[in-house]
Copies of this chain bind each other. A is one copy, B any other.
Amino acid sequence: MNRPSTDPVALFEAAREGKRLALARLMSLVERGGDAARVLGAHTYSQIGAAYTVGMTGAPGSGKSSLAAELASVVRSEQQRLAILAVDPSSPYTGGAILGDRVRMQDHVTDDGIYIRSMATRGHLGGLSLAAPQAIRVLDALSWPWILVETVGVGQVEVEIAGAADTTIVVVNPGWGDAVQANKAGLMEIADIFVINKSDRKGADDTRRDIQQMLELSSLGDWEPPIVMTVATDHIGADELWQTVGEHRSYLQESGELQVRRNLRVQAELTEIVTQSLEQRVINTMESPETAELKEKLARGEIDPYAAAARLIELSNG
C-alpha cells in the first residue's frame, strides 16, 4: 500500500473520486487547521454553494444521535446523500468509525450515501469555530447535498456552530421548560425548528406550551419555529421533522433570507479568522525572546508598560 498523501489538494481530488480514506485524512487536516486549511479554502471556494446544511444541537442525552440516525434513514429512503459532522467531545463516533453499540447508526456504515465524521476539540475549543465551517465547505465542494452538523448544546462555541447552519434544529426533552439551563436563551435564539424528543414521556405537552410561550415573548421574524414531537428510539417523528426542514428551506429560498444568512455566516467566519490570527500573534509576541528582555526592563523600572507594548507590537509586525 502506498504511503497516503498529506497534500490537501491531492487528498481532495482523491476524495472526489469517492476514496473514503482520502476524505478522512482531509477532515483530519481541516481539524488541525493551519496552512492546509488555507490551501483547501482557496481550492474549494469556487466549488461550493450547492449543499444545504442542517444544524442540530441539544443537551447531552437528549437523543440527538438517535435522531440523526433516523433522519439518515429518511434521507436515504428519498435516494439522497447525507454527510453527518458530529462536533461533540462525548460523541459516540470516533475517527469516522462508529462504536459497536450504536446499532441504529451501524445500518448506515456500509452505505456509500452516508458519511459520518466526528470532530474533536483537540483541546482548543476556539479552533472548532474555524474547523467546522471549513469541514462543511470541503463536504459541499465534494457534492454532498445534505450536511447535518450535530453539536452538544452546552458550550457557546458548539451552539454557535449549530446556529450557523441553514436550518437549525434544537432538540429538547420533556421537562426542558422547567430546567435551569445556562444556554436556554442562546438556544431559543438560534432555533428554526424545535424537537421535543422522548415525547412519550410525562410533561411533553407542558414543555410544548412552555416553548410556545417563550417563542411568543421573543421578537420573531416571519418564520415561526414549529415544534415537532419525536420518539427517535421508536422511529416516531423523523419523517415529519425532515418535512419541516424542507419547509424551512423553501421559506429561506423564497424569502431571499438564505443568501443573507450565508453572507452573514461567511462574514462571521472572516472576523473569526482575523481575530484568531491576531490572537496567535499576541501569544507569539508574548513568548518571544524580545519580550523576556522587555519584561526584565519593566521589572527594573527602565521602561514603562505602554512603551514596552508599543515596542512589542512593532516587533510583531516585522
Interface residues of A (CB under 8 A from B): 37-38, 41-42, 44-46, 48-49, 133, 259, 263, 266-267, 269-271, 273-275, 277-279, 281-282, 285-286, 294-295, 298-299, 301, 303-310, 312-313, 317
Contact = CB atoms under 8 A, between A and B. Distances in A.
| Majority SS at the chain A contact face | helix
A45 B301 CA distance: 7
Given A278-B281, A286-B274, A41 B301 contact: no
A274 B312 contact: yes
A318 to B, nearest CB: 9
A49 B295 contact: no
A41 B306 contact: yes
A301 B313 CA distance: 33
A227 B294 CA distance: 39
A292 to B, nearest CB: 10
B278 A38 contact: no
8 contacts: A48-B301, A49-B301, A133-B305, A271-B286, A273-B306, A275-B282, A277-B313, A278-B281
Nearest to A133: B305
B306 A38 contact: yes
Contacts of A298: 263, 266-267, 270
Contact of A294 (B269, B270, B307): B270
A265 to B, nearest CB: 10
A306 B42 contact: yes
A303 B45 contact: yes
A307 B42 contact: yes
A309 B42 contact: no
A274 B282 contact: yes
Contacts of A38: 306-307, 310
B42 A299 contact: no
A76 to B, nearest CB: 30
